[in-house]
Chain A
Amino acid sequence: MEKRYQLNKNLAQMLKGGVIMDVTNVGQARIAEEAGAVAVMALERVPADIRRDGGVARMSDPKMIREIKETVSIPVMAKARIGHFVEAQILEAIGIDYIDESEVLTPADNVNHIDKTAFEIPFVCGARNLGEALRRIGEGASMIRTKGEAGTGDVVEAVTHMRTMLNDMRRVQSASQMELMRIAKEFGAPFDLIQFVHDNGKLPVVNFAAGGIATPADAALMMQLGVDGVFVGSGIFKAGNPEKRAKAIVEAVTYYNDPQKLAKISEDLGPAMVGINIEDIDNKERFADRGW
């Protein structure tokens, strides 16, 4: 099992410097692959539509996930509800490459997340701060993404969560050995993982940004803040010219440190998704607050 976990962390390493795109059908999956996505997230509705439609959001139809899997050669991910280990079992049975235990779907358990160590398939989980990230890793996640606020096209929460993560890490790193247990208690994080961050100054797994990335500049901003890659959900297929925007975001993640290239990349992309300001979303409708 230790070997399997290592392999699962390794796959996330191969995705670094790349963009993972939400797709809802075969056509979009092709566009994503053609644009240079490193993986696709197969789901029935992008977060912006889930937010608009309301109701319970669940795992997607396995048939639709299978069709996407047959269409592309890049890794395929799909979402299970928080705590819904049977949805995860089904996704594992389909033989996709990664499960996202996601706050974008309606949680199935108000207290517990999935025991990810019980699975062979890797999991990525969302986090708003270091404690949450380490709890998920403690449960067996082999990749983390900052949550941001999905379906808004507003990058502010993604930035907040990444900055919080960085601040938390600096604090753990600069603390003395004697203070680590106190911090583990405060963060609600496993002690051995706090010890790892203290010794290494980074998470033990790859960390992507997600939730609100809508432009090449947003993607480059997150990269410059220190994430390993980005997830783009509604930002591509809710925009005016998905093909062009998808390609531009891929390019921006490679050349995130080159403003000249970024300027060129950002030209003439057509309208970005309209988006919602985070302040306009009622607290209880915020996806990021789901998960514990």
Chain B
Amino acid sequence: MRRVLVRRAITSLITFFIAISLVFVISRLTGDPLSELIENPEVAPETVEALRRAFGLDKPLYVQYINFIQSTLVGQLGYSINYKRPVFDVIMEKLPYTIALLIPAITLSNYFAYRLGVESGWRRGKKFDISITSVSLFIRATPHFWLAIVLLYIFGVWLGIFPIFGAVTAGAEYASIWDWLKDYLWHYFLPVSVIVIRATGAMFLYIRNSLVETLGEDYITTAVAKGLPEKIVLYKHAARNALLPAVTVMGLRYAFIIDGAVLTETVFSYPGTGRLVYEAIVYRDFFLLQGAVIILTTSVIFVNFIIDLIYLYLDPRVRYR
């Protein structure tokens, strides 16, 4: 058990190093990551030179690489031109908003996908299955940002029952923490719904197909032949085994959810880390973009590690191999 755990941890570390090395390679592809700043009329040439010296961009490439790894490990991600503050501080300030979006997105979408997938697979070929499966296919085909736009338009603009931007009402003063929470949740509802809907649609088919496959197994026939109630066969025998292959793709789903958060936060002007990616593109804020990519990727690797641990717990065969 411990050996497997250590091996997984090492794999995650290697993945992390490959990830930041890739970020380094991409950022130096054009030769000079600051070339854009030189063209930016709002940034003085002296500032660019100061940044270049501060981040060692005038040194040879291998020195830059070592510096890059070192500073990334201690959280020095550079300086944001737009926010005029260190990138790490900016990201950390926005990260809670994104995490608050992601955690329910992961748990709710997995729960919905699980329940719908199992019920749908059990009724395969019936009306319920066909309608749910068709809806999930359409959700899969819908661009994430467009789904967000449609919901924003219908509920925010047309019906006017939800706010159209921000995480809380701008400039509002709150009598109590409850008032703040109410305002926060009101702003929170649409963005989180978009992410949950998209992630459920993506996960649903895996679980449904996995369940359909499991239902063909001999032990299911045995369980039915023994006269066990339908619910028991479905949830105790079939669903548990159908879930295993689905857990392995959960990690991939999380990376997908992060991608979705970037787009959703952009549409709703939600002040999270994902929105920073868009701002960094618009304001050509190189270090901010790079920092957001590093932090978000690291979170993906971390979550994947956690999912691996869950998998170890769920599947004893992996534990004792």
Q: Is A bound to B?
A: no
Query: Which residues of B approach A to under 8 Å, CB–CB?
Result: none
Query: Which residues of A approach B to under 8 Å, CB–CB?
Result: none
